Structure 1
């Protein structure tokens, strides 16, 4: 059943009723909530926990890092998920939430996307695949530039189906991979695949078919600084929303230009935004790491949302901040009634739309 069919009525806190999907890393779950209701167990619309997959002492499904929903001919709605400890997968929503496919791209997978009709999956790994037991295929490359050492690492991986099997995720096979520095974000807009990394935002065309599917750089490549998150602007499909190390911007796919956004304080609070999304109503919301809530500060253990947790995640937040269409803060959502605080890494509008 499409999750959108479970959306709840509007309340005074949100101008429109829509659902938000979050990657919550304390309990390592994907959760979906209505934007206009408190995030309590009673209001939870859907959740998913990955299966155990411990390899050499590492939970390869640890630290869920990305989720998005897509529609398929064979299975209806699916969820695409990655975990930065190693795994990427496809979840069959509403049929026991079973994994239809999973793989281990290595190198801290941070994003996943599906190309419809072709059934192709692309993943983005942020660092070198030093966790590959067969030896790294994409080691870090160190250079000296301007008298400083620069390390470039990360890569994209393409999985394609066997001929005639585009609706069968079990047939997916790794067919290509190539370096992409600091790969953190992917978005398919219905025509092109956009990849976001440490230094660049790049537009790729999808060519070939089945096992011959490849990504081809179209020549559209723009400089960014610490690229992290990319998402559609569902209020204005001309744009993609892009988060970087210390700013958030929108990118016009028609003019191929970045534009500033009226959100937060660019001189202070736009540092450390992990994801930024915008609903069709015009409302924005983001996840910004707690360590970056104050200028120049680094998160310390006393900021841990769950003191005593053996893992101190300095890249998460216990809240999702919402903004109106003019960029003014309106309200925030945190977990309530769960007996623990959420540790959110990413949040997206729950929809199967590309833009």
Structure 2
């Protein structure tokens, strides 16, 4: 049995083998919480939602979003957010160059005609985030910048237009934190916080001067759904649990090339780790769970896996 249970509420010195290799699930999975997981799958180029406790097959898919190819190729990130005007929406970023918002309706299979807005910030987009109450969007492009889009009204995403570009080498992730009203952004060897000033087309980011230095290129940036005082981040060399009050990020695991890592509110962890094989060496056909059965989809290349929920904690 894989030593994955060490990841649940574990001490910081988790061995690198925790995330490495194949194995069976923890002995007792019957008591773990079921929840939905949303993934970016780059071979079929779809965002897909599954119940964690079901096989990741077409028969079990809950929802999909297929934006097409071109600028939408190699979907790199997905977020689920709540809005007053449209209800639940999804935010997508693709390494092909595009970002967008789509309306998550009752329709099971959604496509580009469900987009409420899209843009092409370029530079290998890796993440997109929505600023609530003003409806602004911030994207992260790994070629080295954040792009801010402001609308003319919070309920009109079709009016979003670029209003600011902020330099951030290696930008890979952005996350709005409602507990401190700050935007987090992760890039090359750094995690930074930004204040969001102004509204609508006057929306701007201002670097607060607060940052955490990392040893490698930052990859993922997620809430700790079990503790609003912490975040989870990954870089080339490991996984780190950020203590927001002290701006410290002790290493949790030395496992490399973890493309996404989430701690669910139940305490269960799940992640995607690049396997250096297949059509996309930066992806994997498997989402690994710390207390449940791993989910492998034959021929797939997952890049990100997220909790299908709109809450921050």
Matched, 1:86 2:97: yes
For 1:170, what is the secondary structure of its paired residue?
Answer: helix
Match of 1:21 among 17, 38, 41: 38
- Preserved contact between residue 13 and residue 36 of structure 1 (Cα < 8 Å): no
Cα RMSD for the two superposed structures: 1.5
Match of 1:275 among 256, 260, 271: 260
Partner in structure 2 of residue 31 of structure 1: 48
| 2-structure distance, mates of 1:67, 1:94 | 16
For 1:271, what is the secondary structure of its paired residue?
Answer: coil
> Shift in Å at residue 199 of structure 1?
1.8
- Write the mapping of 1:278-293 to structure 2, written as runs, cut at 5 A: 278-291=263-276
Unpaired runs of 5+ residues, structure 2, are: 1-27
Matched, 1:208 2:193: no
Partner in structure 1 of residue 309 of structure 2: 351
- Preserved contact between residue 89 and residue 101 of structure 1 (Cα < 8 Å): yes
- Write the mapping of 1:96-245 to structure 2, written as runs, cut at 5 A: 97=110, 98-127=114-143, 154-162=144-152, 165-190=153-178, 191-224=181-214, 225-245=216-236
Partner in structure 2 of residue 147 of structure 1: none
| 2-structure distance, mates of 1:183, 1:341 | 29
Which structure would you say has the larger RCO, counting Cα contacts within 8 Å and 6 or more residues apart? 2
Partner in structure 1 of residue 299 of structure 2: 341
Cα shift readout 1:194-247 (whole Å, capped 9, x = no counterpart): 000012100001101111110111111111121100001101111110001011
> Shift in Å at residue 95 of structure 1?
6.1
> Shift in Å at residue 354 of structure 1?
2.2
Cα shift readout 1:161-194 (whole Å, capped 9, x = no counterpart): 11xx111100101000021100001111111100
Give 4+ residue runs of structure 1 displaced > 6 Å after superposition. Answer: none
- Preserved contact between residue 60 and residue 85 of structure 1 (Cα < 8 Å): yes
**Pairs aligned (count):** 278
TM-score (norm 1): 0.76
Cα shift readout 1:34-59 (whole Å, capped 9, x = no counterpart): 1112112222111110035xxxxxx1
> Shift in Å at residue 331 of structure 1?
3.1
TM-score (norm 2): 0.86
For 2:158, what is the secondary structure of its paired residue?
Answer: helix
Match of 2:86 among 45, 67, 75: 75
For 1:198, what is the secondary structure of its paired residue?
Answer: strand
